[in-house]
């Protein structure tokens, strides 16, 4: 039997360029840490102007939302070979933040 993820908040984030085009959609249990990783290794990161973060009650719901977004919103930097249709599940909450591209933006310093 699979381990339940009920009550485990998971985030779906969308990175947009300064002109508003969707660059990337991702999923993470710690979206700040994941964006810090992207700042070091992802080619799309320098072009990001805004990051929109949605919170879901379970990882399964977040995965369904991420899959839907990649399938139907056509982010520039996500591959599409692994994504199949799945129903859209609305997020529990949405947060939008301005995104300054600085190497240590998410550090605690």
**Domain extents in the chain:** 10-98
Query: For residue 78, what pLDDT band results from cuts at 50, 70 and 90?
Result: confident
Q: By the 8 A CB rule, do 12 and 30 touch? A: no
Query: Mean pLDDT throughout 69-93?
Result: 67
pLDDT for the residue 6: 66
pLDDT for the residue 94: 61
What residues have CB less than 8 Å from 41, skipping those under 6 apart?
none
- The percentage of residues in the chain with a pLDDT greater than 70, rounded to a whole number, is 66
Residue 96: which of 54, 40, 57, 33 has the closest Cα? 54
C-alpha angle 105/12/37, rounded to 5°?
Answer: 35
CATH of 10-98, picked from 3.30.2390, 3.40.50, 2.30.110, 3.40.1440, is 3.40.1440
Alpha helices in the chain (DSSP H): 31-41, 59-73
Write down the pTM of the prediction: 0.70
pLDDT at 36 over 60: yes
What single DSSP character describes residue 46?
Answer: G
Query: Mean pLDDT throughout 45-70?
Result: 93
């Amino acid at each position: 039997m699979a381990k339940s993820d009920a009550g485990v908040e998971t985030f779906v984030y969308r990175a947009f360029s300064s002109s508003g085009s969707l660059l990337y959609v991702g999923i993470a249990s710690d979206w700040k840490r994941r964006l810090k990783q992207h700042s070091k290794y992802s080619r799309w990161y320098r072009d990001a102007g805004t990051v929109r973060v949605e919170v879901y009650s379970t990882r399964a719901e977040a995965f369904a939302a991420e899959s839907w977004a990649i399938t139907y919103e056509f982010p520039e930097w996500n591959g599409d070979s692994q994504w199949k249709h799945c129903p859209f599940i609305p997020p529990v909450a949405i947060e939008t933040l301005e995104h300054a591209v600085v190497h240590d933006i998410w550090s605690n310093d």
